[in-house]
């Protein structure tokens, strides 16, 4: 598969703000924060010539010198990328069962990127990656109320009553209430239907658990948009950088009213 070149923006630095060493290594694009924890504890990280063992050692990005296994780290350029995730791939950096992960679909020479939210193994569609941890947190923050839209195939014929139930909300158990912002019928066959489901905040396996509570099997679940950002015709398993216009539109959608 041919990978598109990744769009990068100029690096930012803030020499006055202190953060933990493990987080700093992650922000600099070397690896995940958990992997940085292990490197620090193994004595493979040097900070201003010393070898700290505490992953929370305070660091001033842009001022302190960090070396990992002899390599000095520099501020990473910001990267924003979308992937069309196929079914059967898990959203994780590594898997104890040795299953394929989304990282097998990214260029091997790319700096460390974190997924923006998740899609479970059976789900597919739009998945974002970035090394901008603050932007990642904004996109995934429930208080941002960024609409996420899915196309969902279910093993039954949908009727107006079902759509109303999804919008009104269901209770998978006594301690939880799940609803969608909008549910519409896209098309129907003889035994199944395709719905468009929009969430303005999402919990773990939100859509699947709504249908489980109604006794309805989900056959396919595809995320097609996040706010104004659309999956479009990006091929399955392919990735590309966000365009400047897409990034600006997404940032505007997250701006406070």
Which amino acids are annotated catalytic?
120
With contact defined as beta carbons under 8 Å apart, do 141 and 148 qualify?
Answer: no
Contacts of 232 (CB under 8 A, 6+ apart): none
Question: What SS3 string covers 188-229?
Answer: ECCCCEEEEEEECCCCCCHHHHHHHHCCCCEEEEEEEEECCE
φ, ψ for residue 249 (rounded to 5)? -65, -40
3-state DSSP assignment of residue 161: helix
Residue 240's DSSP bridge partners are 82
Alpha helices in 82-227 (DSSP H): 133-140, 160-168, 206-213
């Amino acid at each position: 598969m041919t990978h598109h070149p990744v769009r990068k923006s100029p690096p930012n630095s803030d020499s006055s703000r202190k953060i933990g060493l493990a987080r700093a290594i992650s922000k600099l694009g070397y690896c995940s924060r958990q992997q940085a924890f292990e490197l620090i504890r193994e004595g493979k990280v040097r900070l201003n010539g010393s070898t700290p063992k505490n992953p929370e050692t305070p660091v001033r990005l842009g001022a302190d010198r960090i070396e990992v296994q002899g390599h000095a780290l520099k501020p990473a350029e910001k990267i924003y990328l979308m992937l069309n995730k196929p079914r059967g791939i898990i959203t994780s950096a590594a898997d104890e069962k040795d299953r394929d992960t989304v990282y097998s679909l990214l260029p091997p020479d790319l700096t460390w990127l974190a997924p923006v939210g998740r899609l479970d193994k059976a789900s597919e569609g739009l998945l974002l990656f970035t090394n901008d941890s603050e932007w990642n947190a904004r996109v995934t923050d429930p208080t941002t109320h960024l609409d996420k839209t899915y196309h969902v195939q279910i093993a039954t014929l949908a009727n107006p009553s079902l759509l109303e139930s999804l919008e009104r909300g269901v209770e998978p158990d006594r301690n939880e209430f799940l609803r969608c912002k909008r549910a519409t019928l896209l098309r129907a066959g003889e035994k199944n239907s395709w719905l468009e489901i929009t969430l303005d905040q999402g919990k773990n396996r939100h859509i699947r658990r709504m249908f489980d509570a109604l006794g309805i099997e989900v056959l396919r679940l595809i995320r097609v948009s996040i706010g104004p950002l659309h999956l479009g015709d990006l091929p399955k398993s392919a990735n590309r950088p966000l365009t400047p216009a897409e990034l600006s539109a997404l940032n505007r959608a997250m701006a406070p009213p």
